[in-house]
Amino acid sequence: MANSAKNGLAEHSLGGNDDLGEIFDAGMHPRAKLGFVLLATKQTIEENMFRLCPPGVGGHVTRAYNPASITVESLTRQAEDLARAASTLLPDGSLDVIGYACTSGSLVIREDRVFAELAKGAPGARTTSLISGVLRALRVLGARRVAVATPYLDEINAREVTYMQRAGFEICAIRGLNLEKDSDMIRVRPDAIARLAASVDRPDADAIFISCGALRSIDVVDALEQKLGKPVICSNQAMMWDMLRLAGIEDRIEGYGRLLRDH
């Protein structure tokens, strides 16, 4: 009986490489594979990225070390861990795009350094950062004068203004909540985020930018655009849009603002 079962198993096993085409397909994510390097403290981005990923597109997440406090000093130090973190994502080389998923970190470290570090860990993937996606999003929307809402400390807000001005934008207003920890930023209620964003709006602002991947901004961006009558960019919405387009994915996504819906 045992021999019979054994022989039956052998009869139904694969005979060699010629049979492999009968068991393989393109996998779970045949359209694109996106890699996100997060701060160790992030709690919002994963859910947002998985929510926004179109069918057939995979989101793959790793983390780089940072302490609980989000300061210019702690963000600057994180550059040293980006290459290691990137190397932990799909080492088979199948990653299409990799991004550093921190708005403040990418402008403090600067995009060129971020790209270089990510490329060390994921040499076959296209590289981007969260601030890169935001800047590209504002340009595609034709926005030049921007009002900015953030949860950050003043020292980070000052860096953000300078960085965006050097990229060619005029910052007509900025307001932060002076929060130092991601564990506080993730607890800011969506209705409070909407009020903060509305408070920085100016008649001459072409767009509103809600900065920070820790905030639950994608929950309010669509309603804010309807209320304010102008584009609203938020970090996680811009990051997904940027990475999809870099991967050649042109899907339009409803419910999260005109950037993902129209561009």
pTM for this predicted structure: 0.91
Beta carbons of 210 and 234 less than 8 angstroms apart: yes
Question: Which of the 8 DSSP states describes residue 199?
Answer: H
Mind listing the pLDDT tens digit for each residue in 33-91?
999 999 999 999 999 999 999 999 999 999 999 999 999 999 999 999 999 999 999 99
Name all domains of the chain by residue range, CATH numbers in brackets.
133-237 (3.40.50.1860)
pLDDT of residue 103: 97
Q: Report pLDDT for 1.
A: 47
Q: Are 234 and 217 in contact (CB under 8 A)?
A: yes
- Rounded CA gap, 166 and 186, in Å? 29
Among the listed residues 127, 111, 117, 107, the one whose alpha carbon sits nearest the alpha carbon of residue 243: 127
Query: What confidence score (pLDDT) does residue 22 get?
Result: 85
CB within 8 A of 17, min separation 6: which ones?
none
What integer pLDDT is reported at residue 20 of this predicted model?
61
Q: What is the mean pLDDT of the segment spanning 9-15?
A: 47
Beta-strand runs (E) in 77-169:
97-100, 126-129, 145-150
Lowest mean pLDDT, pick from 6-15, 106-115, 169-178 = 6-15
What is the gyration radius of the CA atoms in the chain, in angstroms? 21
pLDDT digits (tens, 9 = 90+) for 196-215: 999 999 999 999 999 999 99
148, two tokens: 């900015």
211-253 pLDDT, tens digit per residue, is 999 999 999 999 999 999 999 999 999 999 999 999 999 999 9
Instruction: Give pLDDT, residue 244.
Output: 98
Give yes or no for residue 18 having a pLDDT over 70.
Answer: no
Cβ neighbour number for residue 205 with a 10 Å cutoff: 22
**Residue 234 near residue 215 (C-beta atoms within 8 A):** yes
Tokens coding 187: 């607890």
Q: Provide the edge-to-edge strand list for the sheet that holds 97-100.
A: 57-64, 32-39, 97-100, 126-129
- Provide CB contacts within 8 A for 210, sequence distance 6+: 148, 149, 150, 193, 196, 197, 217, 221, 232, 233, 234, 235
pLDDT given at position 5: 46
**Residues 83-142 pLDDT 10s:** 999 999 999 999 999 999 999 999 999 999 999 999 999 999 999 999 999 999 999 999
